[in-house]
A and B are shown apart, each in its own frame.
Chain A
Amino acid sequence: MSARITCIALVLVLGGALLLALGNLATAEQSALHASPYVISLAGKYLCYAILALAVDLVWGFAGILSLGHAAFFALGGYAMGMYLMREIGARGVYGNPVLPDFMVFLNWKTLPWYWHGFNIPGFALLMVVLVPGVLALVFGYLAFRSRVTGVYLSIITQALTYALLLAFFRNDMGFGGNNGMTDFKDMFGLPLQLDRTRDVLMLASAVALSLCLLLARFVVHSRFGKVLIAVRDSESRTRFLGYRPENYKLVVFVLSAVMAGIGGALYVPQVGIINPSEFAPANSIEAVIWVAVGGRGTLVGAVLGAVLVNLGKTYFTGALPELWLFALGALFVLVTLFLPRGIMGLLPVRAEMPLPRAPAPAQAAASEAGPEGVAGADFGR
């Protein structure tokens, strides 16, 4: 059953992206079927958010890791891509320096910082898109999971992580453009970013990346590994007495998820044309969790659906009633939590990708002998 839902989602994502691209390229501007560049870039953005949502669902829905800092991995992937795009500008910048990006010339820097080397090579930059979020997740996860930090405490430190990165990237002397970040990109892999064709390709690439991430995530959660992961989510200490090492399972899925988020961020940056420290804002990570909750935690496809629908709403609201958006988002979250604990996917007459456990009575969860993570692990962290 859930296989059919995944197929439908793939058809919608890939078919929809293809139709939009055709609508942009093959129709006249006056045509009713014409998709404007604005629509294309919006669709591309939503697809990248959907990749982030998928990454969040993978750790939250299936391993019980409520990460409130996942946008950090998204932003790091974005920065890695931004660094490539900056180097790609070359001598076409305002100051005409063939090596140094404009903001460095502005700061009177004479040489390129060591960590900017190599980013002029596309392959290296793409490697960093994957490696930087992956390695950070590996180190962070290793320390957190090995010391058995779970539940609310884990959520808090993920939030602290993204906040620390926000502050760090704000600093000019970090060498990432400080407050303003990076922008004014010219082209990517030789294709001018201003061209409709390039934007269509990027949007299509995002759809393909999302589809591949969805298939990979599905493979992971349906494997025996995924079954262990769900066992860890529901009673971590029990899996330990069965001889599994929950910390290793969480680490693998956390790194995989961070890499996915990084890829989403890397596709996002050329489409929106800018990356700055605000992408690390804690609120961004929390929004991503809301997308997943709205779509349906632990359903994968629901995460994609939630990301697209909530962002459609956001686009509409921020255009029509900007001051109301945050209230609407808050209300949506409260309503979904109260009335749709399984999100929109819970309304469909099909089995979830991996059903969540029936919520135990709080006292029972806290008293559960097999769960020393008891209270901290209750409800949200589970």
Chain B
Amino acid sequence: MSHPIGAVSETLLYLNGVTVSFDGFRALNSLSLVLEPGEMRAIIGPNGAGKTTMMDVITGKTRPDEGSVVFGADTDLTKLDEPAIAALGIGRKFQKPTVFEPHTVWDNLLLALAGDRRPRFTLLARETPSERRRIEEILATIRLTEQRHRRAGDLSHGQKQWLEIGMLLAQQPQLLLVDEPVAGMTDAETAQTAELLREINRTRGVVVVEHDMHFVRALGVKVTVLHEGSVLSEGSIDHVSADPKVVEVYLGR
């Protein structure tokens, strides 16, 4: 980990003038964003604003045409690929839940658990008591203890979302990127997810992309509004929803 305890830097994540074009279309347009260590940030914005693309850039899936992405003190993420960035401690949850369907809930968590990822290790690896304890803990946190031996593919939509969040926890990341975690969830599940994210945020930085305004309000954190690939407004949820530019973007169409 590039982030030894004690050597707390000023920022956890710093996007500086990031631009991404797809065939001339600017999905991100000189986007800048600063995240403090331990902060939770909500990102909102209309469809196509560039929210998912921003996550793609942070996690190494997409290389920006311009700009830099600095993690911790001085790690430039634009030079690294996905597994390397994951190993640094950045976890990602996708817009669509993607768990490993043929595996059990338990095995999904086992695979996500922080540890040696090389084939020569996994070929001979045995489940250790401490791994078992970690998995039990996470199962309790994501409320899936009862489902541990079920195939992940047989879970409900909401349970899959939680399992995926659990897999992120198992990775023990310092920064969690969560794309639309409550899409398709019931109100009760949504409330539980907000609680879960707050719990996670006690020990790590979280970036949440979400359309659901009630959910964002329930999180009660600083909000960044993206529009056409750059920041339109930033502040508390009350501040941004009163911002005329934001009102224009959301209502003016």
Residues of A within 8 A of B (CB): 220, 223-225, 227-228, 230-231, 234-235, 237-245, 248-249, 252, 354-358, 368-370
Given the complex, which residues of B lie within 8 Å of A230, measured CB to CB? 100, 102-103
Check if A227 sits within 8 Å of B101, measured CB to CB.
Answer: no
Check if B123 sits within 8 Å of A223, measured CB to CB.
Answer: yes
Q: A234-B100, A237-B82, A357-B153 are in contact. List 5 more A-B contacts (CB 8 A).
A: A224-B111, A230-B103, A231-B111, A252-B123, A355-B151
Given the complex, which residues of B lie within 8 Å of A358, measured CB to CB? 101, 153
Q: Which residue of A lies closest to B97 (CB)?
A: A370
- Interface residue? B61 (CB, 8 A): yes
Report the minimum CB–CB distance from A125 to chain B (whole Å): 28
- Interface residue? B185 (CB, 8 A): no
Q: Which residue of A lies closest to B56 (CB)?
A: A369
**Stretch from B35-43, B114-122, B201-209 contacting the other chain:** B114-122
With A234-B101, A356-B102 given, is the CB distance from A244 to B125 under 8 Å? no
> What 1/0 mask marks residues of chain B from 101 to 131 whose CB sits below 8 Å from any chain A CB?
1110001001110000111001111000000
Report the minimum CB–CB distance from A261 to chain B (whole Å): 20
Check if A237 sits within 8 Å of B119, measured CB to CB.
Answer: no
- Interface residue? B149 (CB, 8 A): no
Report the minimum CB–CB distance from A344 to chain B (whole Å): 20
Interface size of B by Cβ–Cβ distance < 8 Å? 33
Select which of B82, B92, B96, B102 is within 8 A of A355 by beta carbon.
Answer: B102
Check if B111 sits within 8 Å of A245, measured CB to CB.
Answer: no
Q: List 21 A-B contacts (CB under 8 A).
A: A220-B123, A224-B110, A224-B125, A225-B125, A228-B122, A230-B103, A231-B100, A231-B111, A234-B101, A237-B61, A238-B94, A238-B100, A241-B61, A242-B117, A243-B83, A244-B117, A249-B119, A356-B102, A357-B101, A358-B153, A369-B96
- Interface residue? B223 (CB, 8 A): no
Q: Which residue of A lies closest to B107 (CB)?
A: A227
Check if B119 sits within 8 Å of A252, measured CB to CB.
Answer: yes
Select which of A225, A245, A354, A368 is within 8 A of B98 by beta carbon.
Answer: A368
Check if A223 sits within 8 Å of B83, measured CB to CB.
Answer: no
Report the minimum CB–CB distance from B240 to chain A (whole Å): 27
What is the CA–CA distance of A368 and B101 in the complex, to the nearest angstrom? Answer: 14
With A220-B123, A223-B123 given, is the CB distance from A243 to B101 under 8 Å? no
Given the complex, which residues of B lie within 8 Å of A244, measured CB to CB? 83, 117
Q: Which residue of B lies closest to A250 (CB)?
A: B119
- Interface residue? B59 (CB, 8 A): yes
